[in-house]
Structure 1
Amino acid sequence: MDWTLEVVIVPVSDLDAAIAFYRDQVGFTLDHDTKNEHMHVAQLTPRGSGCSIVVGDIPSQQEMAPGSLKGVQLVVADAEAARAELVGRGVECSEVQTIDPRDGGTFFGFADPDGNTWAVQQIKARADKPLIPVDHRGRFGEGMEL
C-alpha cells in the first residue's frame, strides 16, 4: 500500500500575510483560497511538489501555535540558485552550508513571518530526475503530454 504525504498544516497568525508570503515571496502556487462566514483556508503548493501546505482558521488548524512548525524540508537541484531567487523576492535566508560533500549534504534555511522554519536541501539529481515530472505547461501527474 502506498502512503503519500499530501498536506502539511502551517500554523500562522495572519492568513492573508501568510498567503502573500508563500505565494509572492517563496513562489508557491495558490491552489485555492476559500473564505466564508465559518472559515478561511488556503492551500499552496511548491512548484514540482506532490505535497501542499495549508493555512487556515478551522479548529484543527489552530491546535499548533503560530510559528511552532520547525524544519520542514524542501528539496531543490541548486541551493545557490534557490537562495538567490528567495533573497531576490525579499526572503531572509541563512547562508548555504555544505555539511557533507556528497549530494544531499548542502542546505540553507528561511522562516516565514510567524517563525515557522524551513530547511532547503540541495539534491543535484533532482535536476535530471524530478520526483514528479512536470510538462511544458506546468502540469504534473499521469496522462501528461510532453
Structure 2
Amino acid sequence: MDWKLEVVVLPVADVDRSLAFYAEQVGFVVDVDRQVSDTMRIVQLTPPGSACSVTFGTGLASTEPGSVKGLQISVSDVEAARSQLAERGVDVTEVRHVGEDGTWAPGKGGPWNSFCFFDDPDGNGWALQERPSGP
C-alpha cells in the first residue's frame, strides 16, 4: 500500500495576502480558491512539479498563523531557485550548507547539503534543498 502526502494545511492570518504571496511571489500553481460558505474558504496551491499541495483559508486550521516550520521543497538548482524567489521579492537567505562542525556555512555543500530558507508573510518556514542530479 502506498502512503502519499497530498496536502499540508498552513495556518495564515490573511487569506488574500497568502494567496498573492504563494502564487505571485513563490510561483505555486493555484488549484482551488473556493468560498464554500460564509465561514469557510479553501485555497489550495501546488509547487510546480510537486505531488503535494498546501492549503489554507478560513475555517480550516485551528493553529496559530505562522506556526508551521520546516516545510521543505527539493529543487534541481538551489541557486537558480533562490534567484527566482529573490527576483519576485521574497526575503530568502543566501545559499548555505551544514559544515563539518555542524554549523551553517556559506555556499553549496555536497549532495543533499545545499539550502536556502524563507518565511511566508505569517512566518510559516520553508527550506529549499538541492537534490543530486540523476534518477
Does the 8 Å contact 2:9/2:54 carry over to 1? Answer: yes
Q: Distance in 2 between matches of 1:108 and 1:76?
A: 11
Q: Residue 70 of structure 1 aligns with which residue?
A: 69
Q: Residue 85 of structure 2 aligns with which residue?
A: 86
**Secondary structure of the corresponding residue to residue 65 of structure 2:** coil
Q: Could you tell me how far 1:98 is from its partner in structure 2?
A: 2.2
Q: Residue 40 of structure 1 aligns with which residue?
A: 41
Q: Residue 108 of structure 1 aligns with which residue?
A: 116
Does the 8 Å contact 1:76/1:124 carry over to 2? Answer: no
- Scaled by the length of structure 2, the TM-score of the pair is 0.88
Instruction: Count residues in correspondence.
Output: 125
Q: Residue 125 of structure 2 aligns with which residue?
A: 117
Cα displacement string for residues 118-139 of structure 1 (whole angstroms, at most 9, x for unaligned residues): 01100132xx54xxxxxxxxxx
Once superposed, what is the RMSD of the aligned Cα atoms? 1.2
Q: Which runs of 5+ in 2 are unaligned?
A: 100-108
Cα displacement string for residues 93-135 of structure 1 (whole angstroms, at most 9, x for unaligned residues): 011002263211100100000000001100132xx54xxxxxx
More strand as a share of residues: 2
- Scaled by the length of structure 1, the TM-score of the pair is 0.82
Q: Residue 6 of structure 2 aligns with which residue?
A: 6
Does the 8 Å contact 1:66/1:116 carry over to 2? Answer: yes
